[in-house]
Amino acid sequence: MSGGRFAVDATGFLTLAKREILRYLRRPWNTFAPPFITNVLYFSVFGVILGERVGTITGVPYILFILPGLVVLGAVSNSFENSSFSIFHGRWNEYIHEVLTSPLSYTRMAWAYVLSAATRGLLVGGLIAAIGWGIISALYRPVPVEHPLYLLASLSVIALLFSGLGVVGGLIARDFDDLTVMNQFILRPLVFFGAVFYSLEDLTPLLRDISLFNPMVYMVNGVRYGFLGVAEVDPGFSLVVLGGMTVVVLAVDVAMFKRGYGLTD
């Protein structure tokens, strides 16, 4: 009996996750073209033009210093947007009820949405890293990857965390404007104040201490450590903090699904 239940859950999980992944892979111009164009502009304006004036930070060219932050920005934005939009769109058009009436467990429902969105975040993050690698290699030298395993672990945790937060956002949103507010007025400001374009050492001691309450600081520094081997916050501590936050958020996702929060309105 338990084996039969596991097979049903596994089949349902894979089916739902596949549907969510194919939803954005079948529309590459909507999924990958915008971050491609946006980050070419970021690297051109901030990295090349402004970078010539800034010079180096922590001993590396400015364009190389901002690369990890732009990868984080792309990964978190796409992870959050994908899961929040998918959940809310399903609620709005009421086709999520088909998922809820299936024999799939609530835990696997939540995980299917989270993992499919995290996959998109990692794909976009990889695309941005490739763009940066091409531009920086042409201008300076190949981009180093000092700690590849740490980089992969850090990006995976980041994508999972914001996919989970996107599920929460999709469940509590009342209309599409709420999703826009979450992304544009909460998520992006946190990223831009997360030491993407500047060093924490450039801040006053008070502002630096305040910045340490921003989880984006740990994400950007973690990815920067993975790429460059340079970090302004202990990378081990950063990964522990982000891992703990991810576990809590994913537990909240499952609990909200089990309660039917926002799903039965």
Which stretches of 26-140 are DSSP H helices? 28-31, 33-42, 50-54, 62-92, 96-100, 106-139
Whether the model pTM is above 0.85:
yes
Distance CA 205, CA 49 (A): 29
Distance CA 66, CA 43 (A): 8
CB burial class (10 A; 0-12, 13-18, 19+) of residue 6? exposed
Q: What is the residue type of 131?
A: I
Strand partners, 220: none
Each residue's pLDDT expressed in tens, for the chain with a length of 265 residues = 455 556 656 888 898 999 999 999 998 898 899 989 988 888 888 777 777 777 788 778 888 888 998 999 999 999 999 999 999 988 888 888 888 887 788 889 999 999 999 999 999 999 999 998 888 888 777 777 899 999 999 999 999 999 999 999 999 988 888 888 887 788 878 888 888 888 888 888 899 989 989 999 999 999 999 998 888 889 999 999 999 999 999 999 999 998 888 876 5
